[in-house]
Amino acid sequence: MASRFFLTLSFMLYLSPFVLGYSVNDLKTWCSQTPNPQPCEDLLSHNKNQIPIKQKSQFFQISTQLALDRAMHAQTNFLLLGSKFENPRAKAAWDDCLELYDHTIHKLNTTINPSTKCTQEDAQTWLSTALTNLQTCREGFSELGVSDFFLPAMSNNVSNLISNTLSINYVPYNPQPAYKDGFPTWVNPGNRKLLQSTSPKANLVVAKDGSGNYKTVAEAITAASKRSGTARYVIYVKAGTYKENVVIKSENIMLMGDGIGKTIITGSKSVGGGSTTFNSATVAVTGDGFIARDITFQNTAGVSNNQAVALRSGSDLSVFYKCSFEGYQDTLYVYSDRQFYKECNIYGTVDFIFGNAAVVLQNCNIYVRNHKTNTITAQGRSDPNQNTGISIHNCKVMAASDLVLSSTKTYLGRPWREYSRTVFMKTYLDSLINSAGWLEWSGTFALKTLYYGEYMNTGPGSSTSGRVKWAGYHVITSSSEASKFTVNNFIAGSSWLPATNVPFTAGL
């Protein structure tokens, strides 16, 4: 906390004289261009000096700094509330919020740090994550049935300010970020060489039988967090079933197993069992640049315990290759930032691929388990300027072995948030898909503002003749429109995936 506070003060000095004050006319002109002009005017007008804002870049820096300051203020107030939570469920939601506010402050700090040299697309990604974090904080209380009466005053203003920064920094579709030598500008040269290793050797070995450095994955992650530097660190997890919950906060960690069904990390935390969705994950990753391959991630809580996450990724530029994600409701939480999944298996029932990342799933097998009503996706984009969405490309959607077609209905997705965005492209849809294709969340909520698309899908469930007639639903016929959701354009994958040695298709 102290180090981040010091960093914020240094940014205040960096932004001078712009953060010192503005004329009333300038203030109204600039703030009127944002979706939430009132908090912009109210907070900026407290400054006394009259210095004009001449460039949009200045206004973006000022607005992001303002959001950062208010986030830090809200976090301080939130910390003081800790003693008020005697209910264990309320305490669970509060703990999540502390982590989420800390992560939000980190993302905002990184965005305006002059040494980061991030692109517009990087900034839009991290601001999207910051806004998602605050939404998740509020949701934790509601899903556990705990009053969140104190949250609006502290978090709504911060959310509005972050929404303003997203609007100011908005990047149109098909962004082409500035990368140097195939890497983001903020990845240092030392890491570039290490990331390009064609045969990564394990720094640590995990083995249940004691033949490795550690017997649990969590112990190995703790050891990795103490290493010097942030170079790629490979942890080989030998075949076996590891019953544990793992949190990975360090950057550039790689978990390498012995294959799907051989190396298994399993847990059973759930909302029904008293956890928040966010904290129910068997494995949760927040450190950027994470890679996993040849591993099964499980949550065995079952249908009756509601939300129960097998894996949650909030790791920017993360990759999952030849992995399996097994659960029921909310199996794979593609939480935030930019992610890529290749040749993976995903099993579930309700909303089992969900979250607010910018993510592409390619050549994956999606297996629907038995449940009365199934929804494959629930994408959580809450702001029209977030660069997020779920793109399912060249995959297969099929029934799991337990699914009974005659007593179930399965849909491609439903809108968790107002600007929910999901596309299925060149994907095989088996006969389990309901002819309507998509399901409402609640009445007419989001049906005009969402973006759902289907492009050149195949299989008995791919016919669009009986699909929903929502304003936000699209049968995509243009390759240029579909190309917006490819690896190259949606997550700029051609610029960073080659370094991971994971195969991918850049275009359609």
- 40-79 pLDDT tens trace: 887 777 654 456 677 888 889 889 998 999 999 888 888 8
pLDDT at 154: 56
- Tokens linked to 251: 């950057």
Residue 46 lies in a domain: yes
Could you tell me the residue range of the domain that residue 104 belongs to?
24-169
Region 148-166: mean pLDDT is 75
The more confidently predicted of residues 422 and 188 is 422
Query: 3-state SS string over 181-241?
Result: CCEECCCCHHHHHHHCCCCCCCCEEECCCCCCCECCHHHHHHHHHCCCCCCCEEEEECCEE
pLDDT at 7: 43
- At 423, is the secondary structure helix, strand, or coil? strand
Region 177-201: mean pLDDT is 46
pLDDT bucket at 488, cuts 50 / 70 / 90: very high
pLDDT at 180: 41
- Whole-number average pLDDT of the chain: 87
Query: pLDDT of 312-325, one tens digit each?
Result: 999 999 999 999 99
CB 414 within 8 A of CB 390: no
Weakest mean pLDDT among 57-61, 79-83, 133-137, 437-441: 79-83
Please check whether residues 316 and 236 belong to one and the same domain.
yes
Which CATH number fits the domain that encloses residue 123?
Answer: 1.20.140.40
Picking from 146, 169, 192, the residue at the C-terminal end of a domain is: 169
- What distances in angstroms separate CA 49 from CA 16, 46, 64, 486, one per listed residue? 11, 9, 19, 48
Please check whether residues 353 and 217 belong to one and the same domain.
yes
pLDDT at 186: 42
pLDDT at 55: 84
Please check whether residues 428 and 353 belong to one and the same domain.
yes
Please check whether residues 230 and 155 belong to one and the same domain.
no
> At residue 217, does pLDDT exceed 80?
yes
Residue 9 lies in a domain: no
Please check whether residues 141 and 211 belong to one and the same domain.
no
Residue 178 lies in a domain: no
Residue 379 lies in a domain: yes
pLDDT at 6: 36
pLDDT at 229: 83
Residue 335 lies in a domain: yes
Please check whether residues 364 and 487 belong to one and the same domain.
yes
Please check whether residues 438 and 479 belong to one and the same domain.
yes
Q: Report the distance separating Cα 366 and Cα 397, nearest Å.
A: 5
Count of domains for the chain: 2
pLDDT at 151: 59
Ramachandran category for residue 471: left, alpha or beta (phi over 0 → left; psi -120 to 50 → alpha): alpha
pLDDT at 473: 98
User: Which of 432, 412, 485, 427 has the alpha carbon at shortest distance from 457?
Assistant: 427
Please check whether residues 264 and 146 belong to one and the same domain.
no
pLDDT bucket at 177, cuts 50 / 70 / 90: very low
Kindly report the pTM of this predicted structure.
0.90
Residue 33 lies in a domain: yes
> At residue 119, does pLDDT exceed 50?
yes
Which CATH number fits the domain that encloses residue 485?
Answer: 2.160.20.10
Among all residues, which ones are annotated catalytic? Answer: 351
Residue 4 lies in a domain: no
Q: Count Cα atoms within 13 angstroms, Cβ side, for 323.
A: 27
